[in-house]
Amino acid sequence: MTLDDLKARIGLIEEAYEFFLAYAAQGLSGDSAGSSGEQARDFLQRCDAALDGLADGFRAHLPGAAAHEAAVAVLERDAAASQALVRLALAQPALSSQLVDNLNASIHLRALLTDLFLLGDVLG
């Protein structure tokens, strides 16, 4: 994975989180979500794909220092937990605003975003 690919994945995850905030504020039931629900599902699918191998991308672009590896291991755990929740949401037949709001409120997703901000700064 190139550095540009890694940065694009980080950007996509951040963009998805921001979309989910707006989606949650709409107060949509799963049945009334319509095209907004399709857009939310698209963001979930792209977020899921961006999470695959994310830690390996950081490993490829950060020096092998113990502090870097320890931090990437934290990111790896947070990414795995976040991906499990993203996939849970994707498995639902309809995406309500409440479901997406609860996903956004997950400590796992918030921890992942913080990891990305911190490690993204280290990447430069």
Q: What is the DSSP code string of 62-100?
A: S---HHHHHHHHHHHHHHHHHHHHHHHHHTSSS--HHHH
Average pLDDT of span 82-86: 97
Q: What is the pLDDT of residue 107?
A: 95
Q: Is the pLDDT of residue 27 over 90?
A: no
d(CA 13, CA 9): 6
Enclosing domain of residue 67: 3-123
Take residue 11 and report the two structure tokens written for it. Answer: 């950007």
The total domain count for the chain is 1
Determine which helix (DSSP H) or strand (DSSP E) holds 42, and give its type and residue range: helix 34-51
Q: Is the pLDDT of residue 29 over 80?
A: no
Average pLDDT of span 30-48: 80
Q: What is the pLDDT of residue 44?
A: 96
